């Protein structure tokens, strides 16, 4: 028999991503729509342990759909990794009468949610919110599309300078394990080369390719490098190596860094977040637990949280070919 949910808690956890506010707003207003109470938990699991919890209504979330970051704040909690921490968290959920929890974040956040469910049978639903698009079982995560636009916009600016000076730029973008941002933003920004974690190009082939590119008439070059690239060098070492082995270019390095996490969310991320928020509340209402609400081919889907935590398999082959062709 389905336990009827009445009071839903919502938190954001892990790195923030543009569109998290739109997701919170959607969870809150879905609660209003279905006559549920909604509680906002501040600072992720840390705030759950501390009892930093406030009731939210439809008006509490006005004017936030277009704001980056998360107004509920986010944090990484060491204490929640201990049974004692989780006990306190659970006690607070009970204290506020919360009987269903929506967790917006990435895999660390989902692991925490699973623990709550396993140890206390507490109903939990996840929403994928991370710019890295590295969650299994969903085509897109909230914030990824915005991050791509931010990266492309930054590289457009750098290209102004690169082509004014016949320079070669190495630009580091986010992506420790996943090359999605590097690959897509690299194609979108017209990068000459793209280094991703999933493939080891080898620095020598990189140099060869850049030489060909120069010979073909290119007077400036952009190389997009994912944080977790396999060159075996950090981006500054890589820059020096390229400068040494490739004559005729001034080499410059730029690390885009934290600007990639912020900014007004794109329309896509706002709509995605709105859909997933509705889906999460409806899943809890339907008695579901231990699921992530994702999107597959435009459709909202429910995926077991354990599946979401599996390593995502990337099929970058076709995109790599598009990158090769269009950077010719």
Ligand-binding annotation for 167, yes or no, is yes
Task: Of 293, 322, 311, give the one whose Cα is nearest residue 140.
Answer: 293
What span, in angstroms and rounded, lies between the C-alpha atoms of 145 and 133? 9
> Which CB, 87 or 212, lies closer to a second copy?
212
* Residue 44 is assigned to a ligand binding site: no
Helix extents (H) in 175-316: 180-188, 203-215, 235-245, 267-285, 305-308
> What is the Cα–Cα distance from 9 to 7, expressed in whole angstroms?
7
Phi–psi pair at 292, nearest 5 degrees: -105, 140
Least distance CB 122 / a second copy (angstroms): 25
Helix (H, G, I), strand (E, B) or coil at 171: strand
Distance in angstroms (rounded) separating the CA atoms of residues 100 and 103? 10
* Smallest separation (angstroms) from a second copy to the CB of 120: 27
Nearer to a second copy, 311 or 318 (CB): 318
- Which are the contacts of 30, defined by CB distance < 8 A and separation ≥ 6? 36, 277, 278, 280, 281, 282
Q: How far is the CB of 276 from a second copy (least distance, A)?
A: 10
Is 150 assigned to a binding site? no
Q: Is 252 annotated as a binding residue?
A: yes
Q: Is 77 annotated as a binding residue?
A: yes
Question: Would the annotation count 260 as a binding residue?
Answer: yes
Q: Which of 99, 132, 145, 269 is catalytic?
A: 132
Q: Could you give phi then psi for residue 161, rounded to 5 degrees?
A: -70, -40
Q: Which is nearer to a second copy, 114 or 167 (CB)?
A: 167
Nearer to a second copy by Cβ, of 122 and 274: the residue is: 274
Residue closer to a second copy, measured from CB, 33 or 237:
33
3-state secondary structure 288-316: CCCEEEEEECCEEEEEEHHHHCCCCCCCC
Instruction: Give the separation between CA 111 and CA 60, rounded to whole angstroms.
Output: 29
Give which of 113, 35, 100, 40 is closest to 74, Cα–Cα: 40
Q: Is 132 a catalytic residue?
A: yes
Angle between helices 107-120 and 83-95 (to 10 degrees): 70
Least distance (Å) between residue 253 CB and a second copy: 8
**164 labelled binding-site residue:** no
Question: Which residue's CB is nearer to a second copy, number 14 or number 85?
Answer: 14
- Between CA 228 and CA 233, with CA 230 as vertex, the angle to 5 degrees is 90
Q: List residues forming the annotated binding site.
A: 15, 25-29, 76-77, 106-109, 130-132, 159, 167, 174-176, 190-192, 218-220, 227, 252, 258-261
Q: List residues forming the annotated binding site for ATP.
A: 15, 76-77, 106-109
Active site amino acids? 132
Q: List residues forming the annotated binding site for Mg(2+).
A: 107
């Amino acid at each position: 028999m389905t336990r009827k949910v009445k009071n839903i808690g919502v938190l954001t956890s892990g790195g923030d991503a543009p569109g998290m506010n739109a997701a919170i707003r959607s969870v809150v207003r879905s609660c209003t729509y279905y006559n549920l109470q909604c509680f906002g938990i501040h600072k992720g699991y840390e705030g759950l342990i501390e009892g930093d919890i406030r009731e939210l209504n439809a008006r509490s979330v006005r004017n936030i759909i277009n704001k980056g970051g998360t107004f509920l704040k986010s944090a990484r909690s060491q204490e929640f990794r201990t049974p004692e921490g989780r006990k306190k968290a659970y006690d607070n959920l009970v204290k506020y009468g919360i009987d269903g929890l929506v967790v917006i974040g990435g895999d660390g956040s989902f692991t925490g949610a699973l623990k709550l469910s396993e140890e206390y049978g507490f109903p939990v639903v996840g929403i994928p919110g991370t710019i890295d698009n590295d969650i299994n079982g969903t085509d897109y995560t909230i914030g990824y599309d915005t991050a791509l636009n931010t990266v492309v916009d930054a590289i457009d600016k750098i290209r102004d300078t690169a082509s004014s000076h016949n320079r070669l730029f190495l630009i580091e973008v986010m992506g420790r394990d996943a090359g999605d941002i590097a690959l897509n933003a690299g194609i979108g920004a017209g990068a000459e080369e793209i280094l991703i974690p999933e493939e080891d190009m080898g620095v020598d082939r990189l140099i060869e390719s850049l030489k060909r590119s120069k010979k073909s008439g290119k007077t400036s070059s952009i190389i997009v490098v994912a944080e977790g690239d396999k060159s075996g060098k950090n981006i500054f070492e890589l820059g020096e190596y390229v400068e040494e082995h490739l004559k005729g270019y001034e080499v410059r390095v730029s690390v885009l860094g934290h600007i990639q996490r912020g900014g007004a969310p794109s329309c896509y991320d706002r709509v995605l977040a709105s859909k997933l928020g509705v889906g999460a509340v409806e899943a809890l209402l339907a008695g579901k637990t231990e699921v992530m609400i994702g999107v597959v081919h435009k459709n909202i889907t429910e995926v077991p949280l354990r599946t979401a935590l599996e390593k995502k398999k990337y099929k970058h082959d076709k995109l790599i070919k598009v990158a090769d062709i269009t950077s010719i």
